Amino acid sequence: MLEYNPAFTPWKDEVHLDHLSASSVGGFQTCGLSWKLSHLDKVAKIGTASWFAFGSAYHRGLEPWWLGKSPQFADAWGSYRKSKVEYYGRGSWESMYSMGMKMTSATKAVTEGKFVPISVLDKKERIEKTEDVDLGFVVVRRRIDVILEATRLPVLDVTKGDVVEFVGKVLVDVKTAGRQYDHRRVLTSGQLKTYAIPNHGEVFGDKLSAYIITTKTANPVVQIIGKRYDKDEIKEQIKTIKQVADQIRNGVFTRREGDHCDRCDFFDLCYKTPGWEKRYNIRRDRPRDKSIDSSAAEKK
pLDDT in tens, the chain (300 residues): 898 999 999 998 889 899 999 899 999 999 999 999 999 999 998 888 898 899 999 999 999 999 999 999 999 999 999 888 888 776 899 999 999 999 999 999 999 999 999 998 876 789 999 999 999 999 999 999 999 999 999 999 999 999 999 999 999 999 999 999 999 999 999 999 999 999 877 778 788 999 999 999 999 999 999 999 999 999 999 999 999 999 999 999 999 999 999 889 999 999 999 999 999 999 865 433 333 433 333 333
Pick the closest to residue 228 from 255, 208, 248, 213 (CA basis).
Answer: 208
Are the CB atoms for 291 and 39 separated by under 8 Å? yes
**What does the alpha-carbon distance between residue 274 and residue 152 come to, in Å, rounded to a whole number?**
53
From residue 74, how far is each of 104, 210, 250 by CA, in Å?
A: 10, 26, 46
Q: What is the pLDDT of residue 300?
A: 34
Radius of gyration for the alpha carbons in the chain, expressed in angstroms and rounded: 20
- Residue 224: phi and psi, rounded to 5, are -125, 110
The strand ranges marked E within 207-288 are 208-215, 222-227, 280-282
Label the pairing between strands 222-227 and 139-157: parallel
Model pTM above 0.85: yes
- Provide the residue type at 144 as one letter: I
Per the CB < 8 A criterion, the answer to whether 264 and 34 are in contact is yes
N- to C-terminal Cα separation, the chain:
17
Measured CA to CA, the distance from residue 297 to residue 235 in angstroms comes to: 31
The DSSP output letter for 249 is H
